Amino acid sequence: MAAKVGDFSLILKLLGGIIIGALLGLYIGENAEGSLRHVMDVVVSLRHIFGQIIFFLVPLVIVGFITPAIVRLGQNASKILLVAVGLAYISSLGAALFSMISGYCIIPNLSIATSTETLRSLPEMVFRLDIPPLFSVMSALVLALTMGVAIVWTRSETLGKIFCEMERIMTALVNRIMIPILPFFVGLSFLGLAYEGSLSRHLPVFIMMVLIVIVGHFIWLAVLYGIGGALSGRNPSQVFRHYAPAYLTAVGTMSSAATLPVALECARKSPVLSRTMVEFMVPLGATVHLCGSVLTETFFVMTISLMLYGSLPSVGTMLLFCVLLGIFAVGAPGVPGGTVVASLGIVTGVLGFDPNGVALLIAIFALQDSFGTACNVTGDGALTLMLEGLFNRNGELGPLQDVAPAEKV
């Protein structure tokens, strides 16, 4: 679920920023020795300021969203809930590892130019405003995890309410500050990339990346449904065959939340799922299951690393990134591009991306946002099937929905 709250206008703004920035960058680059030579001084300064604001908010977003998520999990803890969240994390982690292995096999064979010798250099900033974050990204992650667990252990209602209020505050800051400046940040970054000359060299790779991850989505969905069928002893085709309307709705809305009513209706039509489990797992999955988005981001960061920095991240670095990305995905904020927004800290802290790399990741992720969301939504049906096998194999939690013997494996 790349975007849990539908906002098609943001995608249009991001695309507008990319197109306008790229065209202006090409035009300014062609007239770099003329009257436009000082424009890039302002562009570089503005991009730095926008980037500083975004990176200042990132650690706060981590604490503000992950801690309340842990608190809510503790307050509503049950065996099925814990297993469901665990399955969502394992699915996301598995998707990331699958994407990582595929990336090491595929990306070196793509025609990606890594030499920067012929690129035009960006000018120095005429005005520099540094806004250091209150604490590092890893400190934010450890603080969020330890505080969340401690609040659950001590049943501290006061701190629980405070962090829930902090979640509301951070949602407002993300929606009113971070999201509105993202199109400008991305647009200015693309302007810089086009001015340097690197954008025209990499456009075919962008298109190829999107096509590759869409194929990866379907492969991972096949894996999930295969596991679901094995655990439940039921025919997985009797679930995913009903999910076409939900998939298409997600492609159109780019929002798991907006797709939820359709996804529920599709899952209820399955004769091998119980209504009780459907109404539990499908809404929960819309919140915590982001396998498509995680798969996409993992492949994209590897490609961008080779594209901008000349090499793929080490295996150890990518393993750490995948483990942490799965955690961030479970607690991702309910905003457009929530997975990327929540994971900006590890993108910069673990992988060492600079503002150019972050802007490129956000922009390319936006291009496939709808397909990643559709993968997330469709994958929720597979997790529901897994829970049926673990907790409702014999109808303990309610009968199946008019299931016929022929529909079972």
* HEC-encoded secondary structure of 175-198: HHHHHHHHHHHHHHHHHHHHHHCH
Task: Please report whether residue 123 resides in a domain.
Answer: yes
> Does residue 98 lie in a domain region?
yes
Residues 38-71 pLDDT 10s: 788 888 888 889 888 887 887 888 788 778 877 7
Judged against a pLDDT cut of 50, whether residue 117 lies above it is answered with no
Can you tell me the mean pLDDT for 20-33?
A: 80
Secondary structure (DSSP) of 55-111: HHHHHHHHHHHHHHHHHHHHHT--HHHHHHHHHHHHHHHHHHHHHHHHHHHHGGGS-
Helix-helix angle 355-367:291-309, to 10 degrees = 140
Q: Given this model, what pLDDT does residue 284 score?
A: 79
Q: What pLDDT, on the 0 to 100 scale, is given for residue 391?
A: 84
Give backbone dihedrals phi and psi of 274, rounded to 5 degrees, phi first.
-85, 150
Expressed as residue numbers, the domain containing 140 is 7-392
Query: Which CATH number is 110's domain given?
Result: 1.10.3860
Instruction: Give domain status of residue 403, yes or no.
Output: no
Number of residues written out for the chain: 409
| Residue 163 lies inside a defined structural domain of this protein | yes
Least confident of 21-35, 289-303, 365-379: 21-35
What is d(CA 405, CA 68) in angstroms, rounded to the nearest whole number?
43
398 lies in some domain: no
Model pTM above 0.85: no
Asked if the structure places residue 407 within a domain, the reply is no
pLDDT of amino acid 76: 52
Is 395 a residue whose pLDDT tops 90? no
The total domain count for the chain is 1
Report the C-alpha gap between 384 and 280 in whole angstroms. 9
210 within some domain = yes
408 forms beta bridges with 234
CA gyration radius, the chain = 22
Assess if residue 79 is contained within a domain. Answer: yes
Cα gap 17→383, rounded to integer Å: 37
pLDDT band with cut points at 50, 70 and 90 for residue 253: low
Residues 278, 361: Cα–Cα separation, whole Å = 34
Amino acid at 239: V
Mean pLDDT rounded to a whole number for the chain: 81
CA distance 328 to 138: 12
